[in-house]
Structure formats: structure tokens, C-alpha cells
Structure 1
Amino acid sequence: MLKTYKIEQFREKEYILYLPSRWEPEKADFPKTAVLGTKRQGVVCKRHPNGRNVIGISSALAKSMNLPEKVTALSLYTKDDCLYLGVLIGVFTSGFTNFKLSPIGERSYFFRKLLSVQSSLGVIPFIFGEKHIDWENGLVNGYFHFGDGWVTETVPFPNVIYDRLPNRRSEKRKTYKEIKDRLQREYGIPWYNPGFFNKLDLFERLESDESVSQYLPETHSFQSFEEIERMLSLYKHVFIKPKNGSLGNGIHKLTFDRQAQDYYCRFRDTEGKNRLVRFSSLERLMNSVFKNRSLDSFLIQQGISLLTEDSRPIDFRIHTNKDEKGSWQVSAMAGKVAGVGSVTSHANNGGVVKSLAELFPDPVRNTEVERSLKEAALRLSHAIECNMEGYIGEIGFDLGIDEDGSIWMFEANSKPGRAIFSHPHLRNFDKLTRKLALSFGVFLSQQALHHPEELMQ
């Protein structure tokens, strides 16, 4: 991790930068150019005249560089004859409002917490959207939060961009693709975590990867009723899921009762109620439950007999993040117990978040489960990175453990939800995932600077 220093401004008309007393330059001569994001400015660098281990920046230089006044800490690093003032991280999203207290709507709280880790990392993160870009001057009018409310500041184009678009609809807009392509092509700015995963596409890419194929339940695009019949005879139950669904919406569980020769479907209706319906034939079930819906937009997935608590299935949410060294690590882990009569373990359907210690009070069993889930999540993270395009920095997995102890992957999300962090035992992991999300931005900025050829994709 880059060394971070406190930064102070002083009144001076010249472009002067005082360097911390303990900062060690790579060369005998001090740099002659200061860089913030994509902005460069000639500068006179000196050791701090009072021998203090802080960065001192003249008011003229700060104004010229568009450095926000309330930035309190920055990292310093050099390349050639340039001194880089921290890492400017632009968090790209949509859904902005005109309300000063919540400029990004209900997601303002998450973004405020994301930005709160900035001083410990020496980075300058901000939120922006397509309407905040000044292409002519290479500037962004971004939203900042320094602990006492939202403010807007004009800053240079960032070193890296962290994609936090909220949904697939905003991601498919033509303007989004044009902005991303232009910033990457013309300015060489790495753009990480782009793109929501398509469930079927992801499974098809991973099933040929021998390192993770054992974690994948049989999964197909809908083809025919005969295919569903075959899978029901093999697995006792199957799930029908939207290929591009989220939050558990649209998931149906199909079961066949061999003794009664009846088909059952459990799902959540449009009013948010859990329903269980019975039909004498699969064709009648499908024509009724999926009436007026194209089955081509759904996939069929093998059902798994999962571990349970009080007869309610348990699955696990595992967060993985890339860190400041570009290495994958497990950053959070929790169990989710399905709601009564629910197809999924989502909180909006009665699901309950529990720590592993609550689910497995025996220390030996707890350690065994944690080790197995970590190994699976890290293997899957590496495999997804190798098989998907773009710079992936975080993944949220929904994993299951069957009655034989085997691990299964049901979902992988490139922009994972954060419902598990409502649990009091997981709040420290909430902070860790936020720090790592920005730490990976630091890593990418260093790669773009020192090894740009390795970022070419």
C-alpha cells in the first residue's frame, strides 16, 4: 500500500509543494511536475521548511490542480520526473437527484460509507455520472463527502473509474458505452467492475474450466418440457430463474411428487406473497404460471438438497475482493436461512442472515465449513476473472452446501448487494469490502502507470 501523509494548504502565489521530512525520493533531484488524476502542473518541490512529516501545498498550486480543499490525506509516489498526488478514483453511477442530502437517492448512504475510508488509503474518491463530465476542459463536477455533508467539486479526470451503475437498464444505454470507450481509449483510464453477469453466459463459460466445474449445478437455457422432465427425474426438483434477474425475483421451484404424480411450483407472486400451486401435468403448470412470459428468458437449474436449519434451506453469501496487490481475498462470509415457504433466502422474502458461528457452534465444524467455502470462492473468483472480460475487482457469490458436504455455486454477482452487513457481527467486514473496493483502484492506477502493457485487453 502506498504511504499516506497528512496534507495542509498554505497561502502562496507560487506553485510550491513541501515534501514530508521522511519521504524518500527515488532520485536525488526532486520532481518538477505535480500530477493529480489527468492534470499536470509544473512545480517547485522542497523539503518541508519546519521539518514536519506532512505534505504542504501552496494555495495557488492547489487551485491550479483542482485539489478539493477538504482533502486531509494523500499518498505520494513518483515516476520519471513526476510526483503523483494520491489516486483520484471516480465512482461512475446513475440515478442522481436534486436533493442535497441524498444526491444519489436511496444509494447515497452506501456511497457516503464508501467514500468514508478515503483518508486511510490516501485516495480521493468521488461520485459522478454522464452529465457531470466537461469533455472540453478534461474536468468532472463530482460529488464528494468529507464527513459533514455532500459537496460538489470540480476535479480533473480520474486515474481509475469504479463502475457502480445500479442496474442492467442503465448499463445498456448507448451513452454509457460511449463514455466508457472514450475515457478508456483517449485517456487510458482503467474502468473496473463493468457489466452485470448474465447467469447462463457465466455458467457456460465456467463449465469447461476444470478448476471449478465441480461447483456448478447443471444449468441450461429453457429448451423443452421434456428437458425439465429429465432434470426432475434426476434431481427431484429444479429451479427456473430469469437469466438477468436479481434479488431473487422471478425464481420458481418445481417439484414432482412421484407417488401422487403431481407437479408443484413454489414462487413469489407480484404482490410479494409466497405461493405453492399444484398441477396434474407439467405442461399445464408451465402454461399457467408462466402465462404471457417468454420462457426463452429463463434458465433451468439443477435443484440441490441443501443443509437446513429448522427445515429451512441455508445458503451462503461470500464476498471476494481484489486488494492493493491485485490478489483475490475473501472479505466477508455469512449464512442466509430461507424464509418460511420461500424459494430464496433473500431478506425481502423472510430470509435471515446468520454468522457461521451461529449456524455451526461446534468450532471444528465451523472451521471446516469456512475453509471449504473460502477455497471454492477463491477458485471461482480466479476462474471468472480468466473467463470474463474487463477488470473485475469484486464478486458476491451465493454458494450452497449439500447434505454430502459438496459446495455448489448458484449465483455470482459483479455488483453484489450488501444485505448481509445488517448483521452486527459483520459490520467490520462491511468496512473491509469498501476499503478493498478502493484499494483495487489504487492497484490499477499503479499498473496503468508502471505496466500499461499488462492492462491491454
Structure 2
Amino acid sequence: MIVIGYRRDTGEWVCKEAGGLYRFGSGQLVFTASLPDLTFAVRAQGGRVGPLVGILVSESSIPALLGGRKPWLETVIRSFHANGGITIVSTAAGIGEKTVSGYVFVPALERFVESFTPLPDAVYNRVKSREEEQSEPFQTAAARLAARGIPLVNRSFFRKSDVYDTLRTDRRLWPYLLPTALVDTVDDVRAWLDQYSCIYVKQDSGSRGNGLFRLTALPGAAAICESPRGQKRLRALDELAPLLQSCRYIVQAAADTDTWNGRRYDLRVLAHWQRGRYTITGVGVRLAGTQSLTTHTFHGGTVLPYTEVKERIDEQALGQLIALSGERLSERFGFVGEFSADIGVGRERQLYVYEMNAKPMVFDEPEIETQRLRRLNQLFAELAHLVP
């Protein structure tokens, strides 16, 4: 580790080391006889220091971060610093042609300081809406990073239909996929319900179980419609027409799932890219409530220790599923360094992909979050060629 400094008056990053010039992100440190008041302990290897990691956030996240209301993001930033890296938090508008304007966390001061850095070694995308990712500032920032060969980790959110279409391109993944398709009309839904008798209908861009409901066919044209808010009997599927017109929906055939003490469960798998392949970082289990449609804790689900169902899981198959999925997702969406997967377990222990997420939420299991921080540090060190 060496100590470097930041001069607020000139925007220069400097060091006292006489061993030669050090690369810092896309720039270089300036030699100085004395360090300024803002200093940072960083890793040094092969003529480089850091890594310098950009964290791209929404405009509305900046006041929350500075006000201490982004605890998970601050934990990630502190972890990067503790491992000899530096982060620059910025919005898309802060990414310029050669520099980034944003906020750097100063461990000695325990606060963020407005600053400039060279373009970073890699950028972690934590923008919180699809709309912002499609905006002109974000697209301009992404293009600038791509032009310099700077990895933008997790370029965009996933839509459920795109994930399904992407995984379908690999025949090795077919056994893990439930029949899934976009639907536009009530007639589309009716055809699926006639074929499968029980289906899930989900918002294509939904999350946390929002916008999800299950349809079970009844004699005639009727059906039972269950949602996180309860259930009701539909006398005709035409009652769904206004809902289907409000946004994009997919349908997915229901799986015959395994149960634990009579309750459905599924797996929440966290994965990261490491040394050229995708591996599992941690596995959580979510247990549905006795009357719950989903296993999401937001809708009555509970956390179950993985050890309770571990013997029921084909971990070799799960590892292959995650490795192949990560490869296909990166081909489709750009480099995916981190993702999570909601995986169902069938009565015969077969695994089913429900959905995959480009920006995993915080896991309830502390041990998974601890391992996540390690993996993120390894990921960005590797992207910056600073792997021990």
C-alpha cells in the first residue's frame, strides 16, 4: 500500500513515491514533495494504484448518499477503500471525455468530498430506473466509457422476456426454462390457460413480486385470479383487458414445486464473474407464507436457512445453470459482473429459472452480503488488472 493525496484547489492526484509514475485510472499520479490534507491508502502493483472505481447513480441518490441515507452503497464504498481502492460516485452527467466529477469518500474525514478524478478503471452501474438508463446523459456516458475500453458493469436492467429469449439460445439451458411468452391480449392469456391450466402473469419489467398474479382455470370461461393482495373469481378473462393494456406482461407456465413443511420455497442465488467465469457467491431460500402467492418477503414470504433444503438441491446443476446463464446474459446485455437469479425447485428436484436480475437487492443473509463485498472487490481488482 502507498499513500496518495488529492489537491482540492487544482484537482490533481499526487504521491511522494520516487519509484516512478503510477497509473491512476486512465490518468497518472503527479509527483509531489509533500502530500495535501486529503490522503488515501491505496494498493500499488505493476505501476498502477487502486483500482479507481466509478459508481454511477441516479441524480436523486446523491443527496441521499451525502445525507447518510444510502447505507448499503456506503458499505460497498467503505469496503473498496479498505481493500486499497478509491471510488468516485457520480451521475451520468458527471462522466466527461477525460475526467469524472463527483464525490469521493475520505476515510479520515468520514465523509464525502466533491472532487474530480481521471476516468476510472471500471464503472459499477447502480442507476435505479430503466428510464434513466435510456436517457441521453446515460447513453452519452456509456458511449464515452466504451470508446475508452472502460468496463461498465451491468449496463442495464433485464426484462423478463429478454432474459428468457437470451437463455433459450443455449440448448444446455432448455431443461431449466419454463414456457414463457409476451402477451398482448386476453386471447393470448386464454390460449395459455387452456394449454397449461395454471399460469403466472407478470409485468415484463416488474420486480419484488409487484404486478404478478396467478390464474387457475375453472370449468367454462371462469378462472381464479390470485395476487399478493388476495384472490377473486373471474367470471370471464375479459376482466383482465384493462390491466393487459396498461403495460407489457408475460405469461409463464406454473411449475409443480417442492415444498418444505407444506410451504413452497425457491432459491435466491447471487453470482459474480471471477477469473473468467460466473460462480455462485451465495444461496438464500425464501419460503412462501401459508396463503402467499409469492415467496418475496415484501409479500409475506420468510427467510429459510439454506441448510434446511441443501440436501434437496443438485448443486452441480445449479452451478452449471449460473455459469451458462452469466455467459449468455453478458453476450446479450454487455458485461454482467453481478446478477441474481430466482430459481424454483420441482418435486423431482429439477431446477427452474423464474427470473434473473441485473441489480440484485440486498440479501437478508449477512454471510451472503459479506461474501458479496469480497467478490465485488475481486471483480473490480481483476478488471483493473490488480489481482494478487
**CA apart distance, 1:240:** 0.8
Counterpart CA distance in 2 for 1:194 and 1:96 is 19
Q: Is the 8 A contact 2:215 2:224 kept in 1?
A: yes
**CA apart distance, 1:130:** 3.3
With the length of structure 1 as denominator, give the TM-score of the two structures: 0.74
Q: Does 1:345 align with 2:314?
A: no
State the AA in 2 paired with 1:331.
T
Q: What does the per-residue CA deviation read over 1:213-255, in whole Å, with 9 as the maximum and x for residues that have no partner? A: 1111111111554443443344331011111111111001000
Counterpart CA distance in 1 for 2:108 and 2:193 is 54
Counterpart CA distance in 2 for 1:228 and 1:143 is 50
| Structure 1 residues 413-452: aligned runs within 5 Å | 413-418=357-362, 421-422=363-364, 426-446=365-385
Stretches of structure 2 that go unaligned for 5 or more consecutive residues are: 6-13
Q: What does the per-residue CA deviation read over 1:285-305, in whole Å, with 9 as the maximum and x for residues that have no partner? A: 424xxx265166111111112
1:7 maps to which of 3, 8, 29: 3
Match for residue 87 of structure 1? 51
State the AA in 2 paired with 1:377.
I
2:168 maps to which of 191, 204, 207: 207
State the AA in 2 paired with 1:71.
F
Match for residue 41 of structure 2? 72
Distance 1:148 1:113, change over 3 A: farther
Q: Is the 8 A contact 1:235 1:304 kept in 2?
A: no
Point out the more displaced range, 214-223 or 148-157.
148-157
Match for residue 263 of structure 2? 312
SS in structure 2 of the partner of residue 383 of structure 1: helix
Counterpart CA distance in 1 for 2:344 and 2:159 is 20
Distance 1:165 1:136, change over 3 A: closer
Q: Does 1:333 align with 2:283?
A: yes
| Structure 1 residues 141-156: aligned runs within 5 Å | 141-144=102-105, 146=107, 149-152=110-113, 153-156=115-118
Q: Does 1:356 align with 2:356?
A: no
Q: Does 1:266 align with 2:226?
A: yes
Match for residue 246 of structure 1? 207
Q: What does the per-residue CA deviation read over 1:131-164, in whole Å, with 9 as the maximum and x for residues that have no partner? A: 545x487342323152763221432221211111
Distance 1:257 1:331, change over 3 A: same
Q: What does the per-residue CA deviation read over 1:68-125, in whole Å, with 9 as the maximum and x for residues that have no partner? A: 8342231322xxxxx22221111111144675x842774x101111112224533212
Counterpart CA distance in 2 for 1:295 and 1:98 is 32
Counterpart CA distance in 2 for 1:148 and 1:347 is 37
Q: Is the 8 A contact 1:159 1:445 kept in 2?
A: yes
1:303 maps to which of 233, 238, 254: 254
Q: Is the 8 A contact 1:330 1:374 kept in 2?
A: yes
Match for residue 382 of structure 1? 327
Q: Is the 8 A contact 1:115 1:126 kept in 2?
A: no
Counterpart CA distance in 2 for 1:173 and 1:127 is 19
If you compute each CA radius of gyration, which structure gives the higher value, 1 or 2? 1
**CA apart distance, 1:431:** 1.9
Counterpart CA distance in 1 for 2:290 and 2:223 is 20
Counterpart CA distance in 1 for 2:2 and 2:30 is 22
State the AA in 2 paired with 1:376.
L
Q: Is the 8 A contact 2:65 2:74 kept in 1?
A: no
2:66 maps to which of 78, 103, 108: 103
Match for residue 348 of structure 2? 404
State the AA in 1 paired with 2:233.
R
SS in structure 1 of the partner of residue 132 of structure 2: helix
Counterpart CA distance in 2 for 1:385 and 1:136 is 25
Point out the more displaced range, 108-117 or 122-131.
122-131
Distance 1:369 1:188, change over 3 A: closer
State the AA in 1 paired with 2:17.
L
Distance 1:165 1:145, change over 3 A: farther
Point out the more displaced range, 237-246 or 204-213.
204-213
Counterpart CA distance in 2 for 1:201 and 1:39 is 37
| Structure 1 residues 49-68: aligned runs within 5 Å | 58=32, 60=34
Q: Is the 8 A contact 1:95 1:105 kept in 2?
A: no
Match for residue 50 of structure 1? none
Q: Is the 8 A contact 2:326 2:336 kept in 1?
A: no
Match for residue 195 of structure 1? 156
What is the aligned length? 377
